Chain A
Amino acid sequence: MNLTLKIWRQKDANDKGKIVDYPVSGISPDMSFLEMLDVLNQELIEKGEEPVAFDHDCREGICGTCSLYINGRAHGPQTKITACQLHMRSFKDGDTIYIEPWRAKAFPVIKDLIVDRSSFDRIQQAGGFISVNTSGNTQDANAIPIEKENADKAFDAATCIGCGACVASCKNSSAMLFVSAKVSQFALLPQGRVEATDRVLNMVKQMDEEGFGNCTNTGACEVECPKGISLENIARMNREYLAASFKG
């Protein structure tokens, strides 16, 4: 396949940045999208030019590092996968492909397609945990039975990979899906209920301080989430938040 890539190049956080055209040829439909970028980068290196910087690591859709906005969609045209799981067979010979970084105030660009998502970490540090010591002197794991339905829902929420596609897809750059996934996971488990009030208040406060936008229930986040995290979690977080505000 022969393609025209239109890629966002930005030297560093202070640079203005622009779209640069790169033709690539001889692309196999069996390549992953990132392997296609590897081909381009090898060509650039051979020409003595600087390769395109993009974030990637596990290349199997679980670490949440890759973060490409492809033809106007987070992680590209397919649903429920990350950019590293996207294969070139999803494109046609002769296609033009736009590749940009996540765009959000809370995700400043570091270089080219790489953004700084440490705001996500800070939200988790504000309350995304259960305050038990890790000494192992807890009760037996089976001491509290947990309804399978709740355990399964908690698991579904917990599969969030923290990639930021929800924020990138949201017209308001809201992080509600990301935050609600963690709030929900713990709200659904007896171990997490103990600190539920403080958790939701602290995490939402941090989310607002980081400069993420508000949720207007458009639902783009759910559509673009590579792990299929449900909007139900946002509804659950809103209930938790309301209850906590009265209590708090």
Chain B
Amino acid sequence: MSILDSKIPEGPLADKWTKHKNEINLVNPANKRLIDVIIVGTGLAGGSAAATLAELGYNVKSFCFQDSPRRAHSIAAQGGINAAKNYQGDGDSTYRLFYDTVKGGDYRSREANVYRLAEVSTNIIDQCVAQGVPFAREYGGLLDNRSFGGVLVSRTFYAKGQTGQQLLLGAYAAMNRQIGRGKIKMYTRHEMLDVVVVDGKARGIIARNLVTGEIERHSAHAVVIASGGYGNAFYLSTYAMGSNVTAAWKAHKRGAFFGNPCYTQIHPTCIPVSGDHQSKLTLMSESLRNDGRIWVPKHKKDVEAIRNGSLKPTEIAEEDRDYYLERRYPAFGNLVPRDVASRAAKERCDAGYGVNQTGEAVYLDFASAIERYGKEQAYIKGLNVDDKKVVTDLGKKVVENKYGNLFQMYEKIVDQNPYETPMMIYPAVHYTMGGLWVDYNLMTTVPGLYAIGEANFSDHGANRLGASALMQGLADGYFVLPYTIGDYLAHDIRTGPIPTDTKEFDEAENKVRADIDKFINNKGTKSVDYFHKKLGKIMWNKCGMARNEKELKEAITEIATLREEFHKDVFVPGDQNEYNEELAKAGRVADFLELGELFAKDALERNESAGGHFREEYQTESGEALRVKEYQYVSAWEYKGQPSEAVHHKEPLEYENIEVKERSYK
């Protein structure tokens, strides 16, 4: 029997959430005033949770390392948010969204969690519209939808290529209302550096004021980690520069199990790496695959000619192009899920068909969309549909309306006009499905310590579908946690304020101070970035899109060695009592260096391929991921002093409402 209790309610799948809500403990409004909750992170999950818990009457303390809660990296999500509204009447339903998400996750997520997510998805859209989120609309005044990868319906709501921004500003506005009422106390430019556990329960945090360097104690009856994912372990990713695993990792070190650390999403459409100076990678939204067609030349001679500049992609005839996604996956074509699209791009580039100098880029082409839309518009306007210029101009207008900001972003970075020549794209690290293990109530293995949004592991299995991250973040924060946390806090109505002058707070603060002092006094010879880049290279080369036993074992040793070298030789300028970005970075990289090893260890343990986790030893004849039945479980790792000593626990996954079969997009 597993020691992990997922606390999934009894009863039929469709009734579980309602039944659970009816049966859990509630805290009466007068008592909520006596209870404090700390929330770390102000993205979609943390921001929406803070606003909702404050509105319910709890005293909320919110923390973010940015200068304003509005800058959390949810802001950069582009394409959209899924909801089973079925406004298009194309056959969508709660069950179908549930089914698509479980299948998309390669049968490695929890049925009950995913069903609940699909169930509350429709509330999110209602809620956001009421808050004034300006979603895209049709001329009739109703909401517009578009398609995303891995599904056969149009269920994605969007606001141009800035959906994350609009949803986050909605949550930020809801937070502002509560800050104005004094129900949320906001701590910006603060970084959480430890969780304080008292009598086995999470009762507070130690935070550092990033402006003054002060170390602060904050207590609460419950602590919520909403600090996002850990993709920056790869150094280069689509994450923000400050995105980090520190809050989640400190929670792990205090007893929270870490779930499926190796499940990482490598997004297929990002702007390729251009040189060693590069500090981050930029995503081109998956929504572009609604209209863009992905291809590489069919012939090596054309690849050569393109690389040496003697041939332009627009000069290659249709029959000499290999639209490899359409070829391999006729049913889903360019809209296969991200893991599948990324691996297919890697396969072509590894075979020598990459179209830039580094050989790591494929084309994303809008020419046929421009022509199709242009003809449609010309017809509507009664113009000549055979006039190429008229059609192209009209088509470009339509494409600009849909994706204008993305095209502009591409042009600024690459210095090429994507209306005239196809975009070049390559996969990049984008999201982590793994995270802190949580039960159905979103509580970690430490009582009173919760994890929501990307910081937890729960809903996406081994691969997340496009437009599902925004859905999960807001579902957790607006609609799930506000109920489930009450069940726990109902036992705390007589506890009274949690004191901070206790030995547990002393111990945690001393530890934080000791770590900081060590960095400042280390006086090594190499910068934090030097080590971070090295870690990134190991992660990308040996724990990236394709993994194998030999390289994972090498990665484990190399990361452990690098970590040792880091602690011996890192140089952090300045001191601790001032604004010191290098010091903050040093702490974050120290945690990535521990997490990275556990990541590789987890990937090595999982002798199968599933979703974003692709083990070269486990593939079908046609190169698709090969799942292995005995690995139908969640891996949850318990901290034991060193990543190498982490103890492996399993939560078996059962599928009662969905048939586990080969995941095919053909």
Q: Does B bind A?
A: yes
Contact residue among B55, B165, B482, B579 (Cβ-Cβ distance under 8 Å from A110): B579
B277 within 8 Å of A (CB atoms):
yes
Using CB atoms, name the residue of chain B closest to A134. B52
For B581, what are the chain A residues with a Cβ–Cβ distance below 8 Å?
51, 53
Q: A125-B180, A129-B131 are in contact. List 14 more A-B contacts (CB 8 A).
A: A31-B277, A57-B240, A57-B241, A58-B241, A63-B75, A78-B412, A85-B409, A129-B174, A134-B131, A141-B128, A146-B137, A146-B141, A158-B134, A191-B131
B272-312 CB contacts (< 8 Å) to partner A: 274-275, 277-280, 282-283
B499 within 8 Å of A (CB atoms):
no
A223 within 8 Å of B (CB atoms):
no
B168-216 CB contacts (< 8 Å) to partner A: 169, 172-174, 176-177, 179-180, 186, 188, 211
Given contacts A30-B274, A145-B140, A189-B134, contact A45 B571 (CB under 8 A): yes
Which applies to chain A's interface (DSSP): helix, strand, loop or mixed? Answer: loop
Using CB atoms, name the residue of chain B closest to A114. B579
Whole-angstrom distance between the Cβ of B7 and the nearest chain A Cβ: 23
The interface-forming segment of B64-72, B327-335, B543-551 is B64-72
B166 within 8 Å of A (CB atoms):
yes
Whole-angstrom distance between the Cβ of A152 and the nearest chain B Cβ: 8
B162 within 8 Å of A (CB atoms):
yes
Is B141 a contact of A34 with CB atoms below 8 Å? Answer: no
In angstroms, Cα B452 to Cα A200, docked, is 35
A1-57 CB contacts (< 8 Å) to partner B: 11-12, 28, 30-32, 34-35, 38-39, 42, 44-46, 48-51, 53, 55-57
For B582, what are the chain A residues with a Cβ–Cβ distance below 8 Å?
45, 51
A-B contact count (CB 8 A): 213
For A189, what are the chain B residues with a Cβ–Cβ distance below 8 Å?
132, 134
Whole-angstrom distance between the Cβ of A13 and the nearest chain B Cβ: 9
Is B573 a contact of A192 with CB atoms below 8 Å? Answer: no
A50-79 CB contacts (< 8 Å) to partner B: 50-51, 53, 55-65, 78
In angstroms, Cα B305 to Cα A228, docked, is 40
**A-binding residues in B (CB < 8 A):** 48, 51-52, 55, 66-71, 73, 75-76, 85, 87, 120, 123-132, 134-143, 159-160, 162, 165-166, 169, 172-174, 176-177, 179-180, 186, 188, 211, 238, 240-242, 274-275, 277-280, 282-283, 408-409, 412-413, 415, 478-479, 482, 527, 529, 571, 573-574, 578-579, 581-582
A82-131 CB contacts (< 8 Å) to partner B: 85, 87, 89, 110-111, 114, 116-118, 120-121, 124-126, 128-131
Is A141 a contact of B137 with CB atoms below 8 Å? Answer: no
A138 within 8 Å of B (CB atoms):
yes
In angstroms, Cα B529 to Cα A57, docked, is 15
A218 within 8 Å of B (CB atoms):
no
Given contacts A81-B412, A185-B132, contact A63 B240 (CB under 8 A): yes
Is A57 a contact of B73 with CB atoms below 8 Å? Answer: yes
Given contacts A62-B76, A64-B70, contact A110 B131 (CB under 8 A): no
Given contacts A57-B240, A60-B280, contact A118 B68 (CB under 8 A): yes
Is B159 a contact of A155 with CB atoms below 8 Å? Answer: yes
For A61, what are the chain B residues with a Cβ–Cβ distance below 8 Å?
409, 412
For A141, what are the chain B residues with a Cβ–Cβ distance below 8 Å?
85, 125-126, 128-129, 135, 143
A247 within 8 Å of B (CB atoms):
no
Is A132 a contact of B278 with CB atoms below 8 Å? Answer: no
For A230, what are the chain B residues with a Cβ–Cβ distance below 8 Å?
none
For B131, what are the chain A residues with a Cβ–Cβ distance below 8 Å?
129-130, 132, 134, 191
In angstroms, Cα B71 to Cα A63, docked, is 5
In angstroms, Cα B183 to Cα A134, docked, is 14
Whole-angstrom distance between the Cβ of B428 and the nearest chain A Cβ: 12
Is A134 a contact of B174 with CB atoms below 8 Å? Answer: yes
For A116, what are the chain B residues with a Cβ–Cβ distance below 8 Å?
67
For B275, what are the chain A residues with a Cβ–Cβ distance below 8 Å?
28, 30-31
Whole-angstrom distance between the Cβ of A62 and the nearest chain B Cβ: 5
Given contacts A58-B240, A59-B240, A63-B240, contact A142 B142 (CB under 8 A): yes
Is A58 a contact of B73 with CB atoms below 8 Å? Answer: yes
A133 within 8 Å of B (CB atoms):
yes
Using CB atoms, name the residue of chain B closest to A80. B408
For A161, what are the chain B residues with a Cβ–Cβ distance below 8 Å?
165
Determine which residue in A126, A139, A145 has the highest number of CB atoms from chain B within 10 A of its CB, and name it: A145
Whole-angstrom distance between the Cβ of B175 and the nearest chain A Cβ: 9
In angstroms, Cα B482 to Cα A85, docked, is 38
Is B241 a contact of A128 with CB atoms below 8 Å? Answer: no
In angstroms, Cα B407 to Cα A27, docked, is 26
In angstroms, Cα B415 to Cα A89, docked, is 9
In angstroms, Cα B142 to Cα A147, docked, is 8
Contact residue among A48, A57, A62, A138 (Cβ-Cβ distance under 8 Å from B130): A138
The 0/1 profile, CB within 8 Å of B marked 1, for residues 171-200 of chain A is: 000000000000001100101100000000
For B242, what are the chain A residues with a Cβ–Cβ distance below 8 Å?
57
In angstroms, Cα B280 to Cα A85, docked, is 12
**Top 3 closest pairs, chain A to chain B, by CB:** A145-B141, A136-B123, A129-B173
Given contacts A53-B579, A151-B134, contact A128 B173 (CB under 8 A): yes
For B529, what are the chain A residues with a Cβ–Cβ distance below 8 Å?
38, 42
For B140, what are the chain A residues with a Cβ–Cβ distance below 8 Å?
145
Is A64 a contact of B71 with CB atoms below 8 Å? Answer: yes
A154 within 8 Å of B (CB atoms):
yes
For A130, what are the chain B residues with a Cβ–Cβ distance below 8 Å?
130-132, 173
Whole-angstrom distance between the Cβ of A181 and the nearest chain B Cβ: 11
Given contacts A126-B180, A134-B52, contact A87 B142 (CB under 8 A): no
Whole-angstrom distance between the Cβ of B69 and the nearest chain A Cβ: 8
For A155, what are the chain B residues with a Cβ–Cβ distance below 8 Å?
134, 136, 159-160, 166
In angstroms, Cα B185 to Cα A121, docked, is 13
Is A125 a contact of B176 with CB atoms below 8 Å? Answer: yes
For A118, what are the chain B residues with a Cβ–Cβ distance below 8 Å?
67-68, 188
For B574, what are the chain A residues with a Cβ–Cβ distance below 8 Å?
50
For A216, what are the chain B residues with a Cβ–Cβ distance below 8 Å?
none
A213 within 8 Å of B (CB atoms):
no
Given contacts A56-B241, A85-B412, contact A45 B279 (CB under 8 A): no
Is B134 a contact of A154 with CB atoms below 8 Å? Answer: yes
Is A136 a contact of B478 with CB atoms below 8 Å? Answer: yes
Is B409 a contact of A65 with CB atoms below 8 Å? Answer: no
In angstroms, Cα B139 to Cα A55, docked, is 41
For A134, what are the chain B residues with a Cβ–Cβ distance below 8 Å?
48, 51-52, 55, 127, 131, 174, 478
Whole-angstrom distance between the Cβ of A67 and the nearest chain B Cβ: 9
Whole-angstrom distance between the Cβ of B475 and the nearest chain A Cβ: 10
Whole-angstrom distance between the Cβ of B277 and the nearest chain A Cβ: 5
For B283, what are the chain A residues with a Cβ–Cβ distance below 8 Å?
60
Is A57 a contact of B166 with CB atoms below 8 Å? Answer: no
Is A136 a contact of B124 with CB atoms below 8 Å? Answer: yes
